[in-house]
Amino acid sequence: MDASLLLPRDVPLGGPRAMTVRRTLPHRDRRTIGPWCFVDHYGPHHRDPSSVRPLMDVPPHPHTGLQTVSWLLDGEVLHRDSVGNVATIRPGELNLMTAGHGIAHSEESIVSAGTSPATALHGVQLWVALPDTARHQQAHFEHHADLPHVPNDAATVTVFLGALAGTVSPAATYSPILGAEVRLQPGGSVELSLDIDFEHGVLAVQGEVTVDGDPVPHAALRHQPPGRRSMILHSEHGATALLLGGPPFDEPLLMWWNFVGRTHDEIAEARNDWEKDVRFGHVHGYDGGPLPAPALPPVRLRPHAPATLDLVTGPAAPTPMS
Ligand code: MN
Sign for the CA dihedral angle at 50, 111, 281, 253 comes to: positive
306 confidence band (pLDDT: 50, 70, 90): confident
DSSP assignments along 29-87, one per residue: TBS-BTTEEEEEEEEEE---TT--S-S-EEEEEEEBSEEEEEEEEESEEEEEETTS-EE
CB crowding 248-274: b at 16 or more within 10 Å, else e: bbebbbbbbbbbbbeebebbbebbebb
CA of 126 to the centre of ligand 1 (A): 9
* pTM of the model as a whole: 0.93
- 42 CA distance to ligand 1 centroid (A)? 14
Mean of the pLDDT values across residues 132-143? 98
SS3 (DSSP) at 290: coil
CA 221–ligand 1 middle distance (angstroms): 21
pLDDT single digits (tens) 108-126: 998 877 777 677 899 999 9
CA 110 to chain centre: 21
pLDDT at residue 319 in the model = 34
Percent of the chain with pLDDT strictly greater than 70: 93
Residues 6 or more apart in contact with residue 20 via CB below 8 angstroms: 10, 11, 12, 13, 42
Q: How far is the CA of 184 from the centre of ligand 1 (A)?
A: 30
Rounded to the nearest angstrom, the distance between the alpha carbon of 270 and the centre of ligand 1 is: 15
Ligand 1 centroid, distance to 83 Cα (angstroms) = 14
What was the pLDDT predicted at 113?
Answer: 76
pLDDT band with cut points at 50, 70 and 90 for residue 47 = confident
- pLDDT given for residue 316 in this prediction: 34
Residue 86's region, left for phi above 0, alpha for psi from -120 to 50, else beta, is beta
pLDDT tens sequence across 192-250 = 999 999 999 999 999 999 999 999 999 999 999 999 999 999 999 999 999 999 999 99
Estimate to the nearest angstrom the gap between the alpha carbon of 156 and the chain centroid: 20
Summarised one tens digit per residue, pLDDT across range 22-39 is 999 999 989 999 999 999
Task: Say how many Å lie between the CA of residue 219 and the centre of ligand 1.
Answer: 21
| pLDDT exceeds cutoff 50 at 322 | no
Given a cut of 80, whether residue 9 has pLDDT beyond it is: yes
Rounded CA separation 81/71 (Å): 17
Phi and psi at residue 187, in whole multiples of 5°? 80, 5
Q: What is the pLDDT of residues 71-92, one digit of tens each?
A: 999 999 999 999 999 999 999 9
Question: Measured in angstroms, how far is the CA atom of residue 179 from the centroid of ligand 1?
Answer: 18
The backbone torsions φ and ψ at residue 48, rounded to the nearest 5 degrees and listed phi first, read -80, 115
User: For residue 307, what pLDDT is reported?
Assistant: 72
Please state, in angstroms and rounded to a whole number, the distance separating the CA atoms of residues 40 and 55. Answer: 15
Rounded-to-integer distance, Cα 194 and Cα 63, Å:
31
- Ligand 1 centroid distance, CA of 69 (Å): 9
Supply the pLDDT for residue 55: 87
**Ligand 1 geometric centre to CA of 296 (Å):** 19
Quote the ligand 1 centre to 232 CA distance (angstroms): 33
**Position 311 pLDDT exceeds 80:** no
Q: Reply yes or no on whether the pLDDT at 313 is more than 70.
A: no
CB atoms within 10 A of CB 243: 22
Distance 62 CA to ligand 1 centre (A): 7
> How far, in Å, is the centroid of ligand 1 from the Cα of 87?
14
Q: Where residue 17 falls among pLDDT bands split at 50, 70, 90?
A: low
Q: Cβ neighbours of residue 3 under 8 Å, at least 6 residues apart? A: 29
Q: Among the residues of the chain, which ranges form H helices?
A: 264-275, 309-313
What number of helices (H) and strands (E) belong to the chain? Answer: 2, 25
Distance 258 CA to ligand 1 centre (A): 7
The closest of 117, 109, 66 to 90, measured between CA atoms, is: 109
Ligand 1 centre and the CA of 105: distance in Å? 6
Average pLDDT value over all residues in the chain: 92
Q: Residue 101 — pLDDT band, cuts 50, 70, 90?
A: very high
pLDDT digits (tens, 9 = 90+) for 261-305: 999 999 999 999 999 999 999 999 999 999 999 999 999 999 988
129 vs 5, 111, 305, CA distance in Å? 22, 31, 14
